[in-house]
Chain A
Amino acid sequence: MSLAFTDIVGLEAAKQALLLLAVNPALAGVAIAATVGSGKSTLARAFAALLPEGAPFVELPVNVTEDRLLGGLDLEATLATGARAIERGLLARAHGGVLYADGLNLLDRSIVAHLMEALASGVVRVEREGLSAAHPARFVLVGAYDPSDGEVPRGLLDRIGLIVPFAPQTDARLRAEVVRRNQLRKGEAEAGALPSASSRLRNEAADDETHMLRAMIADARARLPHVRVHDEQVQALIQAALSLGVEGNRADVFAAQAALAKAALDGRDRVDDDDLRLAVRLVLLPRATRLPEANESYQAQDEQPRAPEEPGRSERDEPNGAPQVQSEQLEALLLSAAEAELPKDVLNLPFAMQQRGRSGSRGAALNNRRGRFVRAVEGDPHGNRIALLQTLVAAAPWQAVRRAGTRSSAQLAIRKEDIRIKRFRDKAGMLYIFAVDASGSMAINRMREAKGAAIRLLQDAYVHRDQVALIAFRGGRAQVLLQPSQSVERAKRELDVLPTGGGTPLASALLTAWELAQQARGRGIAQVTLVLMTDGRANVGLDSQASADKAGLQREIQQLAALLRAHGVRAIVIDTQANYLSRGEAPKLAEWLGGRYVYLPNARAEQIAKALT
């Protein structure tokens, strides 16, 4: 028994977003960041009940294979008829409806690429293993992800119109209510065949609400084409996007579509300021890469924009002042409203890439049957995946001969020696985590060389699909400057900021590295290498306090080092201390990590890169 959409407590922004999506599929999808147990899956299933009759709701498992996603040879039909038959994949089956993926950030790279392709073209093309076909695949994507499992590929996130950022449920009463309602439902389900009168009543009430919502959505969909949005309003959205540093021009269109959907949902024919605010909140804000500059136009916020006249007729961008001023006021209004929503640290937004993962990710998603299908070999079908095409090809030439001995001519004779099994190669490369001591006077130099080494590694490592992450540690705690990335461009850009000076929170750096390593495992990266550039002299503990308790600090570091070692993280400690000051701490650290010790007091980028390969 599932909960009805309206019965779900919390996740208000997600509900709002899903309703907008149901009204306006041009929004392409909704991405919901929420932790396990917040009810996101329940919500998605309840959403399915709101869809028009016959619209499919297809679930995309995290470990889906390319065959299943795109479609492939339908063996049964192919063997039965002797002509190839294609089985539609999940993308094609979602056509006209919803594709639901829980774990957007855990999907395989190639799966993400196919999703993006289908979202962009509305068609799924199969060109593999002897098949060539195209199926329509226009669907909206509802995706959920647990931010602590790592980030959603930005390319994918960009194609999803509405993004509901992570909002921890801190309200204790709300949490209690979630649990209460869930248990009520469960209790009823377990009571089985004899539902109590009260629960029947509640069910009917829920049904009524579902009916009502469906009618509301249908009404809004009919209204949508007639809703008007003013040029000044679109302009205000665009200016807000510019102020927030939103990349690309796609978000403008999504923002306008979201505002239109909201107006339609509220039964209005015109977009108003509330609609725009919602659009900013669900479309632009989650894509922000910087805080809007505090500007003087906030004073203007109590001046209401002129009531739009002559709607629908678009006044072409006249530069004669009036509309410009108006849209600026509107933009200020939008941004000041957005300001309140903005987390203190804009870098916590998904597009700013600085989410700090928590520990306890789902562990290794890797198994020996994933990766890319490389070739087919003869082998035992038990526990392996059969390569259909190759099996058929192997069997084909013998058919005439084998048939000769039997009466039947329709059957395909496949023998054991024809069976071919698939061999996979996992393409995930290495992850290099650079953890750089940014405290002290040599910090700037160290950071520059670490950056150079990171970029060099990326450039040499293209074929291996390696990734690089960079952690700087100074002051109270370590900070991830660059999330695992393959991009030289990003590395160059994001490593331009080099905060230096302060204490040495070595323990925090080790913990952060371990978290990154865990996330990488979740994405199937087999080998993680930690490159630690430090003199090894820690003076700040995990509690972010400078501590004189040397023994305590050492213990902490030793434990963390053992943890990294236990998880198979390869370590290299690059000692950057000028020799006469060295007290042998870096070598000790290397020993604890079970890693290599390299003494490079004036470490150059090339030397570091060389030491790693």
Chain B
Amino acid sequence: MSAQIAAEPARALRADHSGAASASSAVHYPFTAIVGQEEMKLCLLLNVIDPRIGGVMIMGHRGTGKSTAVRALADVLPMITRVKGDPFNRTPEEVARDALPIESAAERNGASPTPRQPRDSRLRTERIPVPVVDLPLGATEDRVCGTIDIEAALTQGVKRFEPGLLARANHGFLYIDEVNLLDDHLVDVLLDVAASGWNVVEREGISVRHPARFVLVGSGNPEEGELRPQLLDRFGLHARIVTITDVAQRMEIVRRRRAFDADPRAFIAAWQPQQRALRRRIVAAQKRLAEVEMPDDALMVAAELCMRLGVDGHRGELTLARAACALAAFEGRPRVTRDDVKRVAVPALRHRLRRDPLETTDAGERIERALMELQAQA
């Protein structure tokens, strides 16, 4: 929805400082209670269903609920399995594959500084929610990539790797708000890791390589600063959101936001049935995805559209196909239709059109036009 403001602003100005610990885990507005902004919501969900789509960049006006939607996403994500306490969220198979030392929490606290290899495949596992890691703007490279554990260095005089945000985001989502304000150098690092799925740290005498597969979600306001085209290309989907002008929808936004601000917990509880239903739907779609077929006529639409729009390379078609499959899976259908392709065409291709600095027609409109021409031709 739009206009979702501070998480619990009603709590400010309160004299008591109770709950300092619990307060640091912010209370999020429920995803299913978000009014409108369907394109953005769909783009996020498609990436949950198929992370290979390659993330989403959300650009739009201030106060339209970009960050609210992403932060709300965490609550509808399914659970994943990882080796208990693994800082990289790996499955037992991955631990065996990587031959990367794992350390238990006890060891991290200094019980034994020598790394231990996985002994057998009967590692204990645990279920955790898909991580959604927020990358704050001030983050330094060492915290993002991981660095030397200063405590171990201080107390034991040893060099040990301390995983950073990229480790925490493995098998999850990495969210960067105001991505256009992020340090360019850091953006480059992130894109490299997102593309390869591996984070390589070579610093201060430490050499570590660990898996870091995540869905990159960025958001920003085009008026705060332009995004590098190279950066935009790397995102699978590109959603654009605008101010809602429908009065009825806006009234609903105000109504829900007021209810949430007045009593966040009660509001969240009231939306639990919808949240649960969406979660179930996502899990079902993930299961179905492998069986979803993409018939030739749908593939043809994708290819023709890309040709007509002069999209370079094949990333456009690939993303179109994946997103269309995820959409079919989400809606419980075994086969992708031409219509599925058309529905995801705008966010999948909007950022892949050739750029003309003085072109004033919105890319979305150009895609819609090409779709109409295709329709007429058929």
Contact = CB atoms under 8 A, between A and B. Distances in A.
Interface string A119-142: 111110111111110111011100
B342 interface: no
A83 B155 contact: yes
Interface string B253-274: 1110110011000000000000
A95 B17 CA distance: 8
A575 interface: no
Interface string B6-23: 111111111111011001
A251 B63 contact: yes
Contacts of A238: 247, 250-251, 254
B140 A121 contact: no
Given A317-B252, A487-B222, 6 more contacts: A125-B134, A154-B223, A252-B250, A396-B154, A458-B226, A486-B224
Contact of A455 (B7, B151, B358): B358
Interface stretch (B77-85, B98-106, B176-184): B176-184
A112 to B, nearest CB: 9
A110 B5 contact: no
Nearest to B149: A130
B136 A248 contact: no
B323 to A, nearest CB: 25
Nearest to A69: B138
Contacts of A155: 62, 178, 221, 224
A492 B2 CA distance: 25
Given A82-B154, A127-B165, A26 B5 contact: yes
Given A247-B243, A251-B63, A26 B10 contact: yes
Contacts of B244: 249
Contacts of B178: 113, 116-117, 155
Contacts of B250: 238, 249, 252
Interface stretch (B48-56, B64-72, B306-314): B64-72
Contacts of B360: 492
Interface in B211-255: 221-228, 243-245, 247-248, 250-255
A151 interface: no
- What band does the interface of chain B fall in when counting residues whose beta carbon is under 8 Å from A? 35 or more
Interface of A: 22, 25-28, 51-55, 66, 70, 78, 82-84, 95-98, 109-110, 113-114, 116-117, 119-123, 125-132, 134-136, 138-140, 153-155, 158-159, 225, 231, 234-235, 238-239, 242, 247-254, 256-257, 314, 317, 372-373, 389, 392-393, 396-400, 412, 452, 455-456, 458-459, 462-463, 465, 485-490, 492, 605
A152 B208 CA distance: 43
A129 B138 contact: no
A158 B65 CA distance: 13
A486 B65 CA distance: 23
Contacts of B338: none
Q: Is the interface of B mostly helix, strand, loop or mixed?
A: loop
Nearest to A460: B357
B111 interface: no
A248 B243 contact: yes
Given A314-B255, A397-B153, A459-B357, A128 B138 contact: yes
B162 interface: yes
27 contacts: A51-B13, A55-B15, A84-B154, A113-B181, A114-B137, A114-B138, A117-B137, A120-B7, A121-B26, A123-B26, A125-B134, A126-B136, A130-B150, A136-B24, A138-B7, A247-B63, A248-B243, A249-B1, A253-B254, A253-B258, A256-B254, A317-B248, A393-B148, A393-B153, A396-B154, A397-B153, A487-B224
A392 B150 contact: yes
A140 B248 CA distance: 30
A392 B154 CA distance: 8
A316 B222 CA distance: 35
A222 to B, nearest CB: 13
Contacts, number: 271
B181 A52 contact: no
A130 B147 contact: yes
Given A125-B134, A372-B183, A489 B9 contact: no
Nearest to A239: B247
B157 A399 contact: yes
A-B pairs, 3 with minimum CB distance: A248-B63, A250-B63, A249-B2
A452 B358 contact: yes
B143 interface: yes
B120 interface: no
Interface of B: 1-3, 5-17, 19-20, 23-26, 61-65, 67, 71, 134-140, 142-144, 147-148, 150-151, 153-155, 157, 159, 162, 164-165, 177-178, 181, 183-184, 204, 221-228, 243-245, 247-248, 250-255, 257-258, 261-262, 357-358, 360
Contacts of B71: 121
A240 B121 CA distance: 65
A25 B150 contact: no
B56 to A, nearest CB: 19
A154 B222 CA distance: 12
Most chain B C-beta atoms within 10 Å of own C-beta, residue among A78, A113, A139:
A113
A207 B95 CA distance: 67
A531 B10 CA distance: 49
Contacts of A396: 150, 153-154, 157
A20 B181 CA distance: 33
Contact of A248 (B3, B9, B164, B165): B3
